[in-house]
Amino acid sequence: MTAYEIISKKRDGHPLSSEEIGFFINGYTLGKIPDYQMSALLMAIYLKGMDEEESRALMESYLHSGQTINLDHIPGIKVDKHSTGGVGDKVSIILAPIVAAAGVIVPMISGRGLGHSGGTLDKLESIPGFTVDYNIDEFKNKLEQTGVCLIGQTAELAPADKKIYALRDVTATIQSIPLIGASIMSKKIAEGIDALVLDVKTGVGAFMTEYDQAVRLAKSLIHIGENAGKKTIAYITDMNNPLGYTVGNWLEIEECIECLQGKGPDDLMEITHQLAGAMIYLGRKTGSVDSGIELSKNLVNDGKAWEKFLEIVKTQKGDTEILLNPEKYPRSEFQTEYISPQNGWIESINAFEVGTTAVHLGAGRLKSDDRIDYKAGIRFHKKAGQKVEKGTPIFTIYTDKKELVQDSVKRLAHVIIIEPDPVSPPKMILDYIA
Ligand code: URA
């Protein structure tokens, strides 16, 4: 068996055996197969797809590239949430403290920015000192201490995903159901959960732009999860417009602070409470998802979720002072507003264009070794469904790259559709699949 033969077989549209998949993923993780051959296989999988058996074998090869965590010694049901990726999607950071404050154990292995979409780990690391690199024992200790711990893939946990994720990010091979499935589910199964709530996004800013593709992805993720003995459910949610008002790592953390202090925008809080409510219910803290949603809202209103967030940040070595005084965070050298040229109602703001612009401004990576500028990004002052008045700002961009300011403003201005008549805000939660 050679890497070349396996690449050719997939290129020609033939299914790969479990042994071939295992040989390739293991060889790549150990550094025996080079990036250029892995890239070729990723593109072949992207173009030719994988059947159910191949998808399961791919996820298992990722999972067995590292260890799996046993959390049986920690009492209680362990529930996590994962999103398939979006723009302005900061839900995990708001929801993890809410659900932990409800008493559910939340082990969370998250990802970094991928393509035009942001990553929970990069956002958390914009908090000075915040650490996401822990070994398994440290992860378990923190989980016991706070009831929640947010980390990234490590050399011990799904290392194949860590390496392949970074390669997919720069080889245009992200939007593939088997590759997303193996990436998400290997991390989730490795972390020792009992149940999982998935947020499968659809729309121009999602990896699954079409609704039917999102449903297929949701079903595939549920199939993998249930086969592994994990209760898995999914919500299909809208990702045509950026979620909330901010896109970019620190800007999004600032918005999370507002959300946890009860001042979050409707679209973001609707999804957060729905997913948190489902997690609280699956963690058996309430008798229904609706009462889980009620509890989620109460935990934000009475300040318990915010206190839990401060506790998480402190436990993971982050600076809580800056969260209490966010105005002290360094700001981008260039902050440029775009002023509405007309009166009207915002019909839509293309999330893909917003995500891509944010990456160029410095909020994401164009090459796998790029350093992120945590300050960079975009803050919207108006959202889809809201009224705008001529002469008032619609968004502000933040960057240190002077040469990009004018082009970025122009690019974004083009993707904001303003209608003369009132427009309703988009429906956020489109479906539930179990
Ligand atoms: N999130 C992940 O962890 N992996 C993907 O491939 C997409 C979203």
Which DSSP string corresponds to 295-327?
A: HHHHHHHTSHHHHHHHHHHHHTT--HHHHH-GG
List b or e across 263-300, with b for residues whose CB sees 16 or more CB atoms inside 10 angstroms. Answer: ebbebbbbbbbbbbbbbbbbbebbeebeebbebbbebb
CATH number for position 309: 3.40.1030.10
Residue 57 forms part of a structural domain: no
Given the residues 183, 220, 340, 408, the one annotated as active site: 183
Same domain? For 317 and 399 the reply is no
Cβ of 184 less than 6 Å from ligand 1: yes
Ligand 1 atom nearest the C-alpha of 183 is 4
Residues 154 and 197 in one domain: yes
CA distance 152 to 228: 21
Torsion angle defined by CA atoms of residues 37, 41, 42 and 45, in that order, rounded to the nearest 10 degrees: 180
Any catalytic annotation for residue 223?
Answer: no
CA dist 96 and 119 (Å) reads 15
Sheet of 387-388: strand order equals 387-388, 344-349, 416-419
Last residue of a domain, one of 269, 291, 324: 324
Residue 9 catalytic?
no
Count of other CB atoms within 10 angstroms of residue 166: 16
Tell me which of 80, 184, 188 to substitute to probe ligand 1's pocket, judged by most ligand atoms within 8 Å of the beta carbon. 184
Of the residues 292, 324, 356, the one at which a domain ends: 324
Is the domain of 161 the same as that of 224? yes
Range of the structural domain that residue 359 is part of:
330-419
Query: Ligand 1: does its nearest atom lie under 6 Å from the Cβ of 111?
Result: yes
List the catalytic residue out of 90, 140, 168, 308.
Answer: 168
Tokens for 55? Answer: 């998808």
DSSP letter at 372?
Answer: P
pLDDT (0 to 100) of residue 186: 94
For the domain that residue 357 is a member of, what is the CATH number? 3.90.1170.30
How many angstroms separate the CA atoms of 165 and 3, rounded?
19
Q: Does residue 85's CB lie within 6 angstroms of at least one atom of ligand 1?
A: yes
Q: Which atom of ligand 1 is nearest to the CA of 111?
A: 3
Q: Whose CA is nearest to atom 1 of ligand 1?
A: 84
Domain contains 73: no
Cα radius of gyration rounded to whole Å, the chain = 21
Instruction: Count how many domains the chain has.
Output: 3
Is-catalytic flag, 319?
A: no
**CA 137, 124, 431: angle at the middle one, nearest 5?**
100
Q: Running DSSP on this structure, what letter comes out for residue 359? A: I
Our mutation pick for probing the ligand 1 site, out of 82, 112, 123, 220, counting the most ligand atoms within 8 A of Cβ, is: 82
Q: Are residues 313 and 337 in the same domain?
A: no
Q: Could you tell me if the CB of 180 is within 6 A of ligand 1? A: yes
Residue having the nearest C-alpha atom to atom 8 of ligand 1:
84
**Ligand 1: centre distance to CA 390 (Å):** 40
Mutate to test the pocket of ligand 1, among 81, 92, 165 (most ligand atoms within 8 A of CB): 165
Does residue 292 form part of some domain?
yes
82 is catalytic: yes
| Interval between CA 199 and ligand 1 midpoint (Å) | 11
Give the CATH number for residue 38: 1.20.970.10
What are 159's two structure tokens? 């290392």
Q: Are residues 312 and 352 in the same domain?
A: no
Whether 408 and 271 share a structural domain: no
Ligand 1 atom closest to the Cα of residue 179 is 6
Do residues 120 and 267 share a domain?
Answer: yes
Q: Is 412 contained in some domain?
A: yes
> Which stretches of the chain drop beneath a pLDDT of 50?
none
Catalytic residue among 142, 187, 230, 308: 187
Query: How far is Cα 272 from Cα 288, in angstroms, rounded to an integer?
Result: 16
Q: Is there a domain that residue 16 lies in? A: yes
Q: Where are the beta strands (DSSP E) in 94-223?
A: 106-109, 148-151, 195-202
Kindly state if the Cβ of 183 falls inside 6 Å of ligand 1: yes
- 132 with 220, same domain: the answer is yes
Same domain? 278 vs 383: no
Q: Which atom of ligand 1 is nearest to the CA of 168?
A: 6
Q: Is 108 in the pocket of ligand 1 (CB under 6 A)?
A: no
Q: What is the pLDDT of residues 3-12, one digit of tens each?
A: 999 999 999 9
Q: Is 161 a catalytic residue?
A: yes
- Distance, in Å, from the CA atom of 376 to the CA atom of 154, rounded to the nearest integer, reads 27
Q: Is residue 104 a contact partner of residue 283, using CB atoms and an 8 Å limit?
A: yes
- Residue 286 within any structural domain of the chain: yes
Q: Which one from 82, 142, 162, 163 is the annotated catalytic residue?
A: 82
Rounded Cα–Cα distance for residues 54 and 17 (Å): 7
Specify the residue with its C-alpha closest to ligand 1, atom 5.
180
Q: Residue 63 domain-assigned?
A: no
Same domain, 299 and 172: yes
C-alpha 290/C-alpha 296 separation (Å) is 10
- The protein residue with its alpha carbon nearest to ligand 1, atom 2, reads 184
Which ligand 1 atom minimizes the distance to the CA of 180? 6
Which pLDDT tens digit goes with each residue over 43-79? 999 999 999 999 999 999 999 999 999 999 999 999 9
Q: Which of 246, 274, 227 is nearest to 396 (CA)?
A: 246
C-alpha neighbours within 13 Å on the C-beta side of residue 54: 18
How far is 62 from 159, CA to CA, in rounded Å? 7
Return the bridge partners of 238, or none: 202
Whether residue 340 is found in the same domain as residue 318: no
DSSP string, 267-286: HHHHHHHHHHHHHHHHTTSS
Query: What's the per-residue H, E or C state across 356-396?
Result: HHHHHHHHCCCCCCCCCCCCCEEEECCCCCCEECCCCEEEE
**Residue 82 structure tokens:** 């994962």
pLDDT in tens, 382-434: 999 999 999 999 999 999 999 999 999 999 999 999 999 999 999 999 999 99
Output phi, psi for 77, to 5 deg: -85, 135
Whether residue 426 is contained in a domain is answered as no
Count of residues making up the chain: 434
Cβ of 84 less than 6 Å from ligand 1: yes
Q: Closest by alpha carbon to 91, among 78, 81, 76?
A: 81
- Of 264, 292, 324, which residue is a domain's last? 324
What is the pLDDT, as a whole number, of residue 368?
73
Q: Are residues 132 and 229 in the same domain?
A: yes
